[in-house]
Amino acid sequence: MSRSAKGTIDEPGTNVAAKAGLNKSILDQGWGMFRRMLDYKQCWRGGELIAVPPRYTSQECPKCHHVSKLNRPQQALFLCVQCGYSYHADVVAAINILALGQGERLNAYAHPGGVPGIPVL
């Protein structure tokens, strides 16, 4: 999200100053502190926070689990090159993140002793 908007000599970027300001705002946020506070608040209120690594969530097919850069032919389009599944890329990423989070939750409950902060049933 915070990539430079300068572009190249052949194709210079547009709205570079605005993008630079947005980049600074994004990078100035204390995301680590935000996550710690969110975890604290969830535990305090009896909830749980499940951190999911976002790597490849927008490139993995939720049907056949094939991962490829080619699955994203456009910014907003997901089209699996293996099974042909097609949907909006952000929705596909959300489906994959949800599945990962539910899997992590189920794995934590399945192991004796569980994970710190997550109760064992």
Q: Tell whether 70 and 112 lie within a shared domain.
A: yes
| Per-position b or e across 76-107, b if 16+ CB within 10 A of its CB | eebbbeeeebeeebeebbebbbeebeeebeee
Task: State the pTM of this model.
Answer: 0.63
- Tell me: do 90 and 43 sit in the same domain: no
> Where are the extended beta strands (E) located within the chain?
77-79, 86-88
User: Residue 58's domain spans which residues?
Assistant: 50-121
45 with 63, same domain? no
Q: What is the mean pLDDT of residues 52-59?
A: 90
* Region 62-72 average pLDDT: 95
Count of domains forming the chain: 2
Token code pair at residue 40? 């604290």
Sign for the CA dihedral angle at 35, 40, 43, 47 comes to negative
Summarised one tens digit per residue, pLDDT across range 5-39 is: 565 556 666 666 777 777 787 777 788 888 899 99
Q: Do 45 and 71 have their domain in common?
A: no
Same domain for 75 and 98, yes or no, is yes
The answer on pLDDT for 67 being more than 90 is yes
State the average pLDDT for the chain: 80
Q: Is the separation of the CB atoms in 87 and 78 below 8 Å?
A: yes
